[in-house]
Amino acid sequence: MQVTDLTGGRGWLETAAAASVHRIDRQLGRLADVNDAGRSAEQANANRAAWEDYKYHGGPWAPYALGADQSVHCKGRAVDSDDWYTAAAAVWRENGWRQTARYNDDRDEPWHGEYFPDLDQHINDPAPEPRDTTPGDNMITIARWIKTGACYKVGPESIWYIGSQEELGAQQVLYGEMKNLDDVGFRAVIDSNFIPWAVVEQVTRGQVYGTNGRYWSRSAAEGEAGRAGTKRVQSSLDQVAKNLANVKVTLS
């Protein structure tokens, strides 16, 4: 399988699928939203284990996920995107992408799309040069909150909990070195990106709707109002720190 980097910290896809995403970038006039793209076998199996723990053993909520032997993410032809909640969804469909994980039960994943070359109306269009995005251009901060030891990728109205050293290393390549922040610095990053403090706790616990319960963005949260406890609950830095005192974090 030949793979291509999507640029902008969006991960990788199989080359034909990546070319489609780059055409979508051009048509939208911005980087298409990609929260998760190609996935390692290790991550796919971890996601499956988290879902099985939720489904069968009373563990925290986790989105439905297939193991590495079945996951289209591992084949580089699947993307999780908030664009499905907006008018941009029509552009994805025109370029051969379909939501293939819509169910009327707790497996529902409206953010998940898969690429079908036969449905791509622009497959013969020349793929544009990937947009140049250097670390920092997208206002992304890799932040470790010293008080709890937890590490996050933080951007405008979005936050992603970083749960492993491998993931941290990959994110630092894309966005620059992790910043170790005290309460004052961490508060500034969270507040300046308009992220509710309750969400910081929820992504750390794996209790929101996004990838493995660890990702939140306002656009998707408002599109899925009330889903998985992502409503705007009032909280504060001190309350979140207290609530997370006994939560094990990988990078502490």
State yes or no: pLDDT of 126 exceeds 90: no
pTM value is 0.59
Range from 44-58, 108-122, 201-215 carrying the lowest mean pLDDT: 201-215
State yes or no: pLDDT of 136 exceeds 50: no
CB atoms within 10 A of CB 90: 10
State yes or no: pLDDT of 134 exceeds 70: no
Q: What is the pLDDT of residues 74-125, one digit of tens each?
A: 999 999 998 998 889 999 999 999 999 998 887 888 999 999 999 999 999 8
User: Which carries the bigger pLDDT value, residue 214 or residue 113?
Assistant: 113
CB contact at 8 A, 109 and 72: no
Taking residues 154-173, what's their average pLDDT?
A: 84
Note the pLDDT of residue 179.
92
Range from 57-66, 107-116, 170-179, 240-249 carrying the lowest mean pLDDT: 240-249
